[in-house]
Amino acid sequence: MDFEMRQKEVLKYLVIPSFEKTGLVRHGFSTRIGGVSDKPYDYLNLGLKKADNLENVLENYRIMCDAIDIDLYSLVLSDQVHGDEIYEAGVVDRGKGIWKASDIFRKDALITKQKKVALVTFYADCVPLFFLDVETPAIALAHAGWRGTVKKIGQKTVAWMMKNYGSDPGNILVGIGPCIKKCCYEVDEPVASEFKKAFAYFEELMVDKGEGHFMLDLVMANSRQLEEIGIKPQNMTISHYCTCCSNDIFFSYRADGGKTGSMAAFIELV
Ligand SMILES: [Zn+2]
């Protein structure tokens, strides 16, 4: 199963068909297409911590939220540091990080079971993880770069839902969004050795290119750790897009040489 590309006027964004079918959520993953920002944030930059023009970024939020029918004032933004800390958001958090000062610090995953609390996390090569427990119901987003992947933020997010919401992982749908794939994600020995320590099956996750260089498969490192905690393979939707290969559609930290915009994942319970 793959994400599906949608278009509204110039805007392009992705949705997860299995999430949509439940009727429980509004959600989407943005691309760089359809916004108003100038280079190097062209066009749909949603990163408010970049040196982009604030009015342009807010207009980009209006364009994206209008397309996915999410209220701009319901947004709750993460504060990502490549960590593994989780924040449970609620109605009181609406607007934090965009319309009002936020006290959500150093959180790479957001969770809620409250309705109309729109979780937002940010990406430009790192792995976007979407979660929907259809029974509770409850939702989560997690940001998994290589550090978050090694810290198993995906597993920790599911474990949090199991512990605090009584979620059964068999009822959790997962979406793994566009990210840098093994075709483009070359890492060196220090990163590779972290994966060797964290994953017994590390040999399946990387191809040794010689001279201390490895091509790393972040998608598999995330899907396998989610399977280990009980997510069913048939409940996972994985985008085929590599953000680095498809740099015309997506911001890519690597392809853009570090100076680029941010895409965002959005989800709320209706
Ligand atoms: Zn690629």
The pLDDT score that the predictor gives to residue 28 is 98
Ligand 1 mean position to 245 CA, how many Å?
A: 4
The whole-angstrom separation of Cα 107 and Cα 120 is 11
Ligand 1 mean position to 31 CA, how many Å?
A: 16
The whole-angstrom separation of Cα 52 and Cα 60 is 11
CA nearest to 44, candidates 87, 9, 81: 9
The pLDDT score that the predictor gives to residue 111 is 98
Per residue of the chain (270 residues), give pLDDT as tens: 999 999 999 999 999 999 999 999 999 999 999 999 999 999 999 999 999 999 999 999 999 999 999 999 999 999 999 999 999 999 999 999 999 999 999 999 999 999 999 999 999 999 999 999 999 999 999 999 999 999 999 999 999 999 999 999 999 999 999 999 999 999 999 999 999 999 999 999 999 999 999 999 999 999 999 999 999 999 999 999 999 999 999 999 999 999 999 999 999 999
The pLDDT score that the predictor gives to residue 236 is 98
Distance of CA 215 to the CA centre of its chain: 21
Ligand 1 mean position to 52 CA, how many Å?
A: 26
| Residue labelled with tokens 């364009």 | 63
The pLDDT score that the predictor gives to residue 163 is 98
**Between the CA atoms of 183, 125, 128 and 82, what dihedral angle is there, to the nearest 10 degrees?**
120
| Contact indicator for 121, 80 with CB cutoff of 8 Å | yes
- Classify residue 180 by burial, with Cβ atoms within 10 Å: 0-12, 13-18, 19+: buried
Tokens of 181: 């794939």
The pLDDT score that the predictor gives to residue 181 is 98
Ligand 1 mean position to 239 CA, how many Å?
A: 12
The pLDDT score that the predictor gives to residue 257 is 95
Domains and CATH numbers, the chain: 4-180+230-269 (3.60.140.10)
Ligand 1 mean position to 237 CA, how many Å?
A: 19
The pLDDT score that the predictor gives to residue 110 is 98
The pLDDT score that the predictor gives to residue 224 is 98
Ligand 1 mean position to 241 CA, how many Å?
A: 8
Ligand 1 mean position to 246 CA, how many Å?
A: 7
Ligand 1 mean position to 27 CA, how many Å?
A: 25
